[in-house]
Chain A
Amino acid sequence: MVALLLAVPVLVIIGSLALPFSEMWHHLIQTVLSDYIVNSLLLMIGVGLGTFFLGVSAAWLTAMCDFPGRRFFSWALLLPLAMPAYIIAYTYTGILDFTGPVQTILRETFNWGYGDYWFPEIRSLGGAACMLSLVLYPYVYLLARVAFTEQSTALLEASRNLGRGPWTTLFLVALPMARPAVAAGVSLALMETLADFGTVDYFGVSVFTTGIFRTWYGLGELTTAAQLASFLLLFVFALFALERISRGRIRFHHSAVRRQVARVELHGWRGSACFGASAAILLAGFILPAGQLLFWAARDWPRQFDTDFLALAGNSFMLAAVASTCCLLIALFLAYGRRLYPGRMEALSVRTAAMGYAVPGTVIAVGVLIPFAWFDNHLDSFLREHFGISSGLLLSGSLIALVFAYLVRFLSVSLQSVESGLARVRPSLDESARSLGHTPAAVLRRVHLPILRGSMLTALLLVFVDVLKELPATLILRPFNFNTLAVRTYELASDERLADAATPALTIVLIGLLPVILLSRGISSGEEQ
């Protein structure tokens, strides 16, 4: 029931397929559609490989090896998460563009002019894939790291004892066991990629999302735009189904015996190499762009920082806290319900609801707007007719609608974390607890929750940071006189006032740091147990 309710906005969008297809389709197919599809696929491949490579290596290094700075990196590597993708795109363009400092210094040093030398073009498909990978790899990192640390050490040790090297152990034992987590992380990254608009728009890459907005804003065809979005959804649906089918009936449970992971100690050049690799990821994903922001903000922050600003920060924090808590509770409820009572209908609604993540925020917002306003207007006319009172718009334009939109959009994130955690708990554990006389609720509280601690914190953090950064749905669904940091950042940045946008953007990052630190404490204390 809950899942069905959450699936409504997605169903509203898919429902557009039932409406007649306009002539615009003919035009799209003839001209730009193939571009959209090819570019979207290439972008997905790029981001998929990028996040997999960065995320898994970072997780493996910090979970399984000991090298100088490991403790620091294990939480610092989460930092890029707090960086909105379009902001990192702006900062890197500022640095690497033809007019930026890097190329200018090159030209001045070697006395080159335009066309005399080759330099990678940042505003390109490849550039977009790099930017997105840099901010999205923490999804893979977080989930894979939890999976690696929760893996039974016995299996890994067995593998090493049987003469396998560390690399073979990684590829043949650890990675396959972490597959649900890695797949969940990569699919989150891919869904976010498909929903991204800011980065691709700024870089001038024509992908499906830009197509949806071009059709809506430029051609004024909301229905056609919704139909485009539906095809995107069906595609994502198919992709997930494929992953599930290929995973087949394999399950990834662990023995209940858990011990402190014996990290491989690395010294000398190996240690330095690990340090270098982690530092490089951190530098590219966070320090460089944050440094650029700091540089911009240093000049302008007094003008931005007023009492209004504190209210913005407060609003952002409150929304993120409420939405992430709701998301986690619902995700727990859904995931647990599915474990207890596996049924097709429930499974399908949960999947549908979770699709919301792959849809651009504005489109989801429309999916929320339409049913809410419909409900409000009908309730209003019903009350007028029968009781002579007017309720006006009850839910539309309230924070409830906004939080609901966040649930729809980010449920997938918390669900993936919770489910991948739950998948590692043997059903036999449930069964023994039940046979010892515990109710399902008691099993959840006394058995699952302690085991799921890491996954739950992960879910909470991811949604918190996502809501903090969320823009399009906030923009259109918020009540009067209600602003957030992301809204402020966007308004300034879209007016091409990047320097002014730096202060609110940095504040998003700072607020995002809070849960990152809490989480890393939570995870490491979980590890010590």
Chain B
Amino acid sequence: MLVPLKKLTRLIPLFTFILVTPSLIAAEVNVYSARKEALIKPLLDKFSAESGIKVNLVTAKGDALLTRLKSEGLNSPADVLITTDAGRLYRAQQADVLQPIASEMLSESIPAHLRSPENFWFGLSVRARAIVYSNNRVQPTNLSTYEALTEPQWKGRICIRSSSNIYNQSLVAGMLATQGEKKTASWLAAFVPNFARPPQGGDRDQVAAIAAGLCDVAVVNSYYLGAMIKSSDPKQQAAAAKVGIFWPNQEDRGTHINVSGAGVTSASKNREQAIALIEFLARSDSQTWYAESNNEYPSRAGVDPGELLKSWGDFKADQVDVSELGRLNAQAVMAMDRASWK
């Protein structure tokens, strides 16, 4: 036989272990995280070392975790939900799987527009959707706003990924929130025909496409460019060296941003530990670590974001309440469908 019986018998204690664990050991906290293991585990380990609280982790996609939380109901073992994108946090709040938490430390350190108004969740890091341009074919003085990318001079020169991607969805949701439906629709109608190619690949691929001369500007999240600059792959470094970064809409509402954040679940049985963990993640040193290892911006003001991010300069970020992005996400997808943004 391919499977020795020993293998199977060894499974029995494992099964019982998994069935029994949650109710036995105290001082632990269970985390459902949409943030990838590699990007969160070191912080969680540090938290455990400092506080003596054991952290158990499951990572998966945000919406799938939300479905799991919902169907597990009040018996769910999860204490903390960490997820990328305000839209998911908003949906979690709507689905009643989060509870409001009163933490002075959190409400003081996290700016109001980066957390839920009722303190159901708190933004822990900020990502910005910037314009990246070719160093030798584009004068940054020609760039100004997302809106200006609809001008005829950009015809066939823009690279951007698919509208199935949440970053583009929340970009458009942000526009819906600040500019209204009509303006957004006409922006989309003029923006999509300027694409250099059908949307494809990830954000790094758009930067690589500029470097190769396929297009001249791209709309990408700034941390991907950061990751390329710091990459161990010389090809990625070379591509990143051929582009510059531009913060759009500095004269008006500011560059579009979104958050990754965390909240305590309604079912939480370790509420105190859960709050302690979120407070730990909001601490300045945790935020600096995250900024340096993932190139996202800290959500609280006055935190050192590391050398690379400092070199990109300060920028004015859109102050629209990020929970609005969640509320308008579905509308944004429909608007992009109508504009045939693949």
Contacts and interface: CB of A to CB of B under 8 A. Distances in A.
Interface in A397-429: 397-400
Contact of B209 (A98, A113, A394, A491): A98
A203 interface: yes
Contacts of A483: 37
Contacts of B59: 475, 487, 491
Nearest to B59: A491
Interface in B33-88: 36-39, 56-65, 67-68, 71-77, 87
A219 B330 contact: yes
B198 interface: yes
A189 to B, nearest CB: 24
A222 B64 CA distance: 10
Contacts of A32: 337
B63 A397 contact: no
Per DSSP, chain A at the interface is helix
B169 interface: yes
Nearest to A214: B164
A91 interface: no
Interface residues of A, number: 74
Interface string B130-164: 00000000000000000000000000000001101
B14 interface: yes
B77 A204 contact: no
Interface string B204-240: 1100110111100000000010010001110000010
Given A220-B330, A496-B227, A321 B3 contact: yes
B75 A392 contact: yes
A362 B57 CA distance: 19
A399 B15 contact: yes
A153 interface: no
Nearest to B269: A392
A340 interface: no
Contacts of B18: 397-399, 479
Interface string A363-386: 001100110011011001000000
Given A496-B204, A499-B232, A476 B60 contact: yes
A518 B1 CA distance: 10
B153 to A, nearest CB: 18
B7 interface: yes
A31 B233 contact: no
A93 B91 contact: no
Contact of B333 (A123, A204, A219, A299): A219
A476 B224 contact: no
A399 B11 CA distance: 10
B26 interface: no
B193 interface: no
Given A99-B212, A221-B330, A318 B7 contact: yes
A27 B333 CA distance: 11
A140 B61 CA distance: 33
Contacts of A430: none
A380 B333 contact: no
A230 to B, nearest CB: 17
A321 B2 contact: yes
Contacts, number: 181
Contacts of B232: 299-300, 499
Per DSSP, chain B at the interface is helix
Given A214-B164, A495-B36, A370 B338 contact: no
From B169, B212, B224, B227, residue with most partner A Cβ within 10 Å: B212
B330 A322 contact: no
Contact of B166 (A218, A299, A369, A397): A218
B75 A202 contact: no
Nearest to B326: A220
From B2, B36, B61, B76, residue with most partner A Cβ within 10 Å: B2
A210 B212 contact: no
B201 interface: yes
A392 B76 CA distance: 8
B58 A222 contact: no
Contacts of B38: 491-492, 495
A515 B2 contact: yes
Interface in A192-213: 201-204, 206, 210, 213
Nearest to B234: A299
B27 interface: no
A222 B67 CA distance: 9
A393 B75 contact: yes
Contact of A203 (B15, B23, B200): B200
A481 B19 contact: no
B329 interface: yes
A480 interface: yes
A492 to B, nearest CB: 7
Nearest to B333: A218
Interface of A: 27, 31-32, 93, 97-99, 104, 113-114, 123, 201-204, 206, 210, 213-214, 216-222, 299-300, 318, 321-322, 324-325, 362, 365-366, 369-370, 373-374, 376-377, 380, 392-394, 396-400, 460, 464, 472, 475-483, 487-488, 491-492, 494-497, 499, 515, 518
14 contacts: A98-B212, A99-B209, A202-B200, A219-B333, A220-B63, A220-B87, A220-B330, A321-B2, A369-B71, A373-B75, A393-B22, A398-B18, A482-B58, A496-B205
Interface of B: 2-3, 7-8, 11, 14-15, 18-19, 21-23, 30, 36-39, 56-65, 67-68, 71-77, 87, 91, 161-162, 164, 166, 169, 198-205, 208-209, 211-214, 224, 227, 231-233, 239, 329-330, 333-334, 337-338, 342
Given A218-B329, A325-B8, 15 more contacts: A97-B205, A99-B209, A204-B161, A299-B232, A362-B61, A365-B64, A369-B68, A374-B71, A376-B72, A377-B73, A460-B2, A482-B58, A495-B39, A496-B204, A496-B227
- In the complex, the 3 A-B pairs of residues with the closest C-beta atoms, listed nearest first: A204-B200, A480-B56, A373-B71
